[in-house]
Amino acid sequence: SFRRIFGNYLTEREFGEYRYLAYAVNQFFTNGGSRCYVKRVVPSDAFYSCSEEKAPVIFYAKEAGEWGNKITITITESSQYKTQILEEVQSNPYRYRVKNTQGFSVGDVVFITKDEQKFYNKVVDVDDTTITMEQKFAEDIDVTIPQLIVSVSQIDIHVKYDMIEEKYEHCSLNRNSYDFIEQRLTKRSLRNMVKSLLNMKSINLTKKIKSYRKWSAG
């Protein structure tokens, strides 16, 4: 547990007089100690490493300091639920009759794909055969085109720090869902997402995305 949280033995060349913690803890137990309390201390002006601020979802390291620079996050699309749009029932609000509504819930971020471009929307109502969207997908999209598919936006999140890895599958952008990103990542050892920006116009999950640290100090 100590090595996982605080790291291993440090070299004199790189850390000098600040290298003794691991040795001290080891000797404490070697000499009969049974319970050791270790508190990590960082400067008062230390920052939390974070991912790119312009991304739809921003990740912050759970603790401040330079250690967060070693964290990498890989995000991939993993939509489980999708259905075919059969017709536009009403233009405002934007209601669509679909083949089935299984897996669709109020608050879900959804998307359709046309010419390899994704258009995002948000579900505001669901019944047996129709889904009501927050806005029109796009002015130039004919929703009656055969095989036009609407999918619930879900993502897999792979977090890595040195030899430690955590994976969260089928995370949702819906704040009301049990699989909402923040709910899934809360209280984990590596990450704690403290801010999310779900801007329909900025979401882009069409390719494999890798979010790296942005800055840190301490």
Give SS3 for 188.
coil
> What single letter denotes the amino acid at residue 144?
T
- Tens of pLDDT along the chain (218 residues) come to 787 777 788 888 888 888 888 899 999 999 999 999 988 788 888 887 877 766 667 777 777 888 778 888 888 889 999 999 988 888 778 899 999 999 999 999 999 988 888 889 999 999 989 999 998 887 667 766 667 899 999 999 888 877 778 888 999 989 899 898 888 877 555 444 433 434 333 333 333 333 333 333 33
CA torsion sign, 214 to 177 to 127 to 93? negative
Per the listing, tokens 């579900």 go with 123
Contacts 24+ apart (CB under 8 A), 48-52: 48/216, 49/213, 49/214, 49/215, 49/216, 50/213, 50/214, 50/215, 51/211, 51/212, 51/213, 51/214, 52/211, 52/212, 52/214
Reported pTM: 0.68
CA distance 132 to 25: 59
β-partners of residue 209 are 75
Omega before 93 within 30 of 0, i.e. cis: yes
